[in-house]
Structure 1
Amino acid sequence: MSTSHVGGVLPEKRNNLLPKKVLCVEVCSFTFQFLSEPQLQEAISYFSKKTHPSTREYNNGLEHYWQKWFERLPPGLVSTGKRQKVLAALQKAKLIAGSL
Protein backbone atom coordinates (compact mmCIF):
# COMPACT_ATOMS: atom_id res chain seq x y z
CA MET A 1 0.00 0.00 0.00
CA SER A 2 1.40 3.32 -0.96
CA THR A 3 0.43 6.91 -0.66
CA SER A 4 -1.34 9.12 -3.16
CA HIS A 5 0.43 12.28 -2.05
CA VAL A 6 2.55 14.11 -4.59
CA GLY A 7 6.16 13.14 -4.13
CA GLY A 8 5.29 9.92 -2.32
CA VAL A 9 6.44 8.99 1.15
CA LEU A 10 9.87 10.09 2.30
CA PRO A 11 12.13 7.09 2.79
CA GLU A 12 12.93 6.25 6.36
CA LYS A 13 16.53 5.94 7.41
CA ARG A 14 17.05 2.32 8.29
CA ASN A 15 19.66 -0.33 8.60
CA ASN A 16 19.30 -2.58 5.56
CA LEU A 17 20.92 -5.44 7.42
CA LEU A 18 17.97 -5.77 9.77
CA PRO A 19 15.27 -8.19 8.63
CA LYS A 20 12.10 -6.60 7.32
CA LYS A 21 8.71 -7.83 8.42
CA VAL A 22 6.04 -8.14 5.75
CA LEU A 23 2.63 -9.58 6.51
CA CYS A 24 1.00 -11.32 3.53
CA VAL A 25 -2.66 -12.29 3.63
CA GLU A 26 -3.96 -14.46 0.81
CA VAL A 27 -7.72 -14.62 0.40
CA CYS A 28 -10.07 -15.00 -2.59
CA SER A 29 -7.12 -15.48 -5.00
CA PHE A 30 -5.64 -12.13 -3.98
CA THR A 31 -2.63 -11.42 -1.78
CA PHE A 32 -2.47 -8.36 0.44
CA GLN A 33 0.95 -7.18 1.65
CA PHE A 34 1.26 -5.04 4.77
CA LEU A 35 4.40 -3.40 6.11
CA SER A 36 2.87 -2.07 9.31
CA GLU A 37 -0.06 -2.57 11.62
CA PRO A 38 -1.68 0.78 10.69
CA GLN A 39 -1.86 -0.39 7.07
CA LEU A 40 -3.62 -3.57 8.19
CA GLN A 41 -6.01 -1.55 10.35
CA GLU A 42 -6.81 0.74 7.41
CA ALA A 43 -7.70 -2.27 5.26
CA ILE A 44 -9.87 -3.73 8.03
CA SER A 45 -11.78 -0.46 8.40
CA TYR A 46 -12.21 -0.24 4.60
CA PHE A 47 -13.62 -3.78 4.30
CA SER A 48 -15.81 -3.28 7.38
CA LYS A 49 -17.95 -0.80 5.46
CA LYS A 50 -20.71 -2.14 3.24
CA THR A 51 -20.77 0.82 0.89
CA HIS A 52 -17.91 3.01 -0.25
CA PRO A 53 -17.92 6.49 -1.71
CA SER A 54 -17.06 7.05 -5.34
CA THR A 55 -13.38 6.64 -6.09
CA ARG A 56 -13.47 9.41 -8.63
CA GLU A 57 -11.47 12.22 -7.13
CA TYR A 58 -9.64 15.06 -8.75
CA ASN A 59 -6.00 14.03 -9.01
CA ASN A 60 -4.50 17.31 -10.18
CA GLY A 61 -3.60 15.88 -13.59
CA LEU A 62 -1.41 13.14 -12.15
CA GLU A 63 -0.93 9.81 -13.85
CA HIS A 64 -2.65 6.53 -13.01
CA TYR A 65 0.00 5.52 -10.47
CA TRP A 66 -1.27 8.10 -8.01
CA GLN A 67 -4.29 5.97 -7.20
CA LYS A 68 -5.10 5.04 -3.64
CA TRP A 69 -4.56 1.42 -2.66
CA PHE A 70 -8.25 0.50 -2.64
CA GLU A 71 -8.80 1.88 -6.15
CA ARG A 72 -6.62 -0.90 -7.56
CA LEU A 73 -8.49 -3.81 -6.00
CA PRO A 74 -9.78 -6.49 -8.38
CA PRO A 75 -13.43 -6.17 -9.37
CA GLY A 76 -15.77 -8.12 -7.13
CA LEU A 77 -13.43 -8.24 -4.15
CA VAL A 78 -15.67 -5.83 -2.26
CA SER A 79 -18.88 -7.68 -3.12
CA THR A 80 -20.83 -8.94 -0.11
CA GLY A 81 -19.64 -12.56 -0.04
CA LYS A 82 -15.98 -11.92 -0.76
CA ARG A 83 -15.88 -8.80 1.42
CA GLN A 84 -16.86 -10.88 4.44
CA LYS A 85 -14.18 -13.48 3.66
CA VAL A 86 -11.55 -10.77 3.21
CA LEU A 87 -12.58 -9.06 6.44
CA ALA A 88 -12.40 -12.34 8.38
CA ALA A 89 -8.93 -13.10 6.97
CA LEU A 90 -7.65 -9.61 7.77
CA GLN A 91 -8.97 -9.75 11.34
CA LYS A 92 -7.37 -13.16 11.80
CA ALA A 93 -4.08 -11.78 10.47
CA LYS A 94 -4.30 -8.90 12.95
CA LEU A 95 -4.65 -11.36 15.82
CA ILE A 96 -1.70 -13.39 14.58
CA ALA A 97 0.45 -10.30 13.96
CA GLY A 98 -0.40 -9.00 17.42
CA SER A 99 0.90 -12.16 19.04
CA LEU A 100 4.26 -12.05 17.21
Structure 2
Amino acid sequence: MARHWKEKLDPSKHRDFMRGYQDAGGLPMDAPRDNLLESWVYFVEVAGFTFQFVSVDQIHEALRYFEEKVHPSTKEYNNGLEHHWQPWFCRLAPGIKSEAKRVKVVKALQATLIEYGSET
Protein backbone atom coordinates (compact mmCIF):
# COMPACT_ATOMS: atom_id res chain seq x y z
CA MET A 1 0.00 0.00 0.00
CA ALA A 2 1.47 3.33 -1.06
CA ARG A 3 1.31 6.38 1.15
CA HIS A 4 2.36 9.98 0.87
CA TRP A 5 2.82 12.87 3.28
CA LYS A 6 4.57 16.19 3.64
CA GLU A 7 6.79 17.67 6.33
CA LYS A 8 7.97 21.19 7.01
CA LEU A 9 11.40 21.78 5.53
CA ASP A 10 14.15 21.25 8.08
CA PRO A 11 17.57 21.99 6.49
CA SER A 12 19.33 19.90 9.13
CA LYS A 13 17.25 16.84 8.21
CA HIS A 14 16.20 17.13 4.55
CA ARG A 15 18.37 17.06 1.43
CA ASP A 16 17.70 17.58 -2.27
CA PHE A 17 18.40 14.35 -4.14
CA MET A 18 17.14 15.44 -7.56
CA ARG A 19 18.82 18.78 -8.32
CA GLY A 20 21.59 18.55 -10.91
CA TYR A 21 24.35 15.97 -11.04
CA GLN A 22 25.57 14.88 -7.63
CA ASP A 23 26.73 12.00 -5.52
CA ALA A 24 24.36 9.80 -3.55
CA GLY A 25 24.31 12.03 -0.46
CA GLY A 26 22.10 14.75 -1.91
CA LEU A 27 22.60 18.50 -1.74
CA PRO A 28 21.96 20.48 1.43
CA MET A 29 18.78 22.52 1.55
CA ASP A 30 18.75 26.22 2.35
CA ALA A 31 16.45 27.54 5.03
CA PRO A 32 13.67 29.73 3.63
CA ARG A 33 14.50 33.43 3.63
CA ASP A 34 11.06 34.34 4.90
CA ASN A 35 9.83 32.53 8.00
CA LEU A 36 6.23 33.43 7.13
CA LEU A 37 6.34 31.32 3.97
CA GLU A 38 6.16 27.63 4.69
CA SER A 39 8.43 25.33 2.72
CA TRP A 40 7.48 21.69 2.45
CA VAL A 41 9.22 18.43 1.66
CA TYR A 42 7.03 15.74 0.09
CA PHE A 43 7.43 12.00 0.62
CA VAL A 44 6.01 9.07 -1.32
CA GLU A 45 6.48 5.55 0.04
CA VAL A 46 5.77 2.83 -2.49
CA ALA A 47 7.15 -0.62 -3.34
CA GLY A 48 9.51 -0.59 -0.36
CA PHE A 49 11.13 2.69 -1.41
CA THR A 50 10.64 6.23 -0.09
CA PHE A 51 10.97 9.13 -2.50
CA GLN A 52 11.74 12.59 -1.13
CA PHE A 53 10.86 15.70 -3.14
CA VAL A 54 11.54 19.33 -2.25
CA SER A 55 8.97 20.72 -4.68
CA VAL A 56 5.86 19.72 -6.58
CA ASP A 57 7.86 20.24 -9.79
CA GLN A 58 10.15 17.39 -8.74
CA ILE A 59 7.12 15.13 -8.32
CA HIS A 60 6.06 16.02 -11.88
CA GLU A 61 9.58 15.25 -13.13
CA ALA A 62 9.60 11.85 -11.43
CA LEU A 63 6.14 11.06 -12.78
CA ARG A 64 7.26 11.89 -16.34
CA TYR A 65 10.26 9.59 -15.86
CA PHE A 66 8.27 6.65 -14.50
CA GLU A 67 5.50 7.00 -17.10
CA GLU A 68 8.04 6.03 -19.78
CA LYS A 69 8.38 2.29 -20.17
CA VAL A 70 11.72 2.45 -21.99
CA HIS A 71 14.46 4.91 -21.09
CA PRO A 72 17.33 6.07 -23.29
CA SER A 73 20.93 5.39 -22.44
CA THR A 74 22.30 7.39 -19.52
CA LYS A 75 25.85 7.35 -20.82
CA GLU A 76 27.16 10.89 -21.24
CA TYR A 77 30.43 12.56 -22.05
CA ASN A 78 32.63 12.96 -18.97
CA ASN A 79 35.02 15.89 -19.28
CA GLY A 80 37.10 14.85 -16.29
CA LEU A 81 34.49 15.41 -13.64
CA GLU A 82 34.13 12.98 -10.80
CA HIS A 83 32.92 9.61 -12.03
CA HIS A 84 30.33 9.28 -9.27
CA TRP A 85 28.29 12.37 -10.19
CA GLN A 86 25.01 11.11 -11.59
CA PRO A 87 21.50 12.38 -12.33
CA TRP A 88 18.85 11.35 -9.80
CA PHE A 89 17.33 8.58 -11.92
CA CYS A 90 20.67 6.74 -12.12
CA ARG A 91 20.71 6.40 -8.34
CA LEU A 92 17.32 4.72 -7.97
CA ALA A 93 17.11 1.50 -5.99
CA PRO A 94 17.57 -1.71 -7.97
CA GLY A 95 14.29 -3.14 -9.18
CA ILE A 96 12.24 0.03 -8.70
CA LYS A 97 12.05 0.42 -12.49
CA SER A 98 10.63 -3.08 -13.06
CA GLU A 99 7.23 -3.01 -14.76
CA ALA A 100 5.21 -4.11 -11.72
CA LYS A 101 6.83 -1.56 -9.42
CA ARG A 102 6.87 1.15 -12.10
CA VAL A 103 3.07 0.96 -12.35
CA LYS A 104 2.75 1.26 -8.56
CA VAL A 105 5.10 4.23 -8.50
CA VAL A 106 3.13 6.01 -11.24
CA LYS A 107 -0.14 5.52 -9.33
CA ALA A 108 1.41 6.73 -6.08
CA LEU A 109 2.93 9.82 -7.71
CA GLN A 110 -0.38 10.64 -9.40
CA ALA A 111 -2.20 10.35 -6.07
CA THR A 112 0.36 12.65 -4.48
CA LEU A 113 -0.12 15.24 -7.21
CA ILE A 114 -3.89 15.10 -6.79
CA GLU A 115 -3.46 16.06 -3.15
CA TYR A 116 -0.50 18.45 -3.33
CA GLY A 117 -0.33 19.45 -7.02
CA SER A 118 -1.79 22.91 -6.49
CA GLU A 119 0.91 23.88 -3.97
CA THR A 120 3.95 25.82 -5.11
- The two structures have a TM-score, normalised by structure 2, of 0.69
SS at match of 1:39: helix
Unaligned runs of 5+ in 1: none
Which residue of the partner structure matches residue 98 of structure 1?
117
SS at match of 2:40: coil
User: C-alpha displacement at 1:64, in angstroms?
Assistant: 4.0
Which one has more relative contact order, counting CA pairs under 8 Å at least 6 apart? 1
Which residue of the partner structure matches residue 15 of structure 1?
33
- The two structures have a TM-score, normalised by structure 1, of 0.81
User: C-alpha displacement at 1:13, in angstroms?
Assistant: 8.2
Higher strand share: 2
Q: C-alpha separation between the residues in 2 aligned to 1:78 and 1:91?
A: 16
Read off the aligned partner of 1:15 and give its amino acid letter: R
Unaligned runs of 5+ in 2: 1-17
Q: C-alpha separation between the residues in 1 aligned to 2:94 and 2:83?
A: 17
Residue 48 of structure 2 is aligned to residue 34 of structure 1: no
C-alpha change, 1:21 and 1:64, in structure 2 (3 Å) is farther
Q: C-alpha separation between the residues in 2 aligned to 1:64 and 1:30?
A: 25
Which residue of the partner structure matches residue 4 of structure 1?
21
User: C-alpha displacement at 1:20, in angstroms?
Assistant: 2.6
C-alpha change, 1:16 and 1:30, in structure 2 (3 Å) is farther
8 Å CA contact 2:45, 2:51 repeated in 1: yes
Q: C-alpha separation between the residues in 1 aligned to 2:19 and 2:84?
A: 10
Q: C-alpha separation between the residues in 1 aligned to 2:118 and 2:30?
A: 25
- Structure 1 runs, 4 residues or longer, greater than 3 Å off: 11-14, 16-19
Which residue of the partner structure matches residue 79 of structure 1?
98
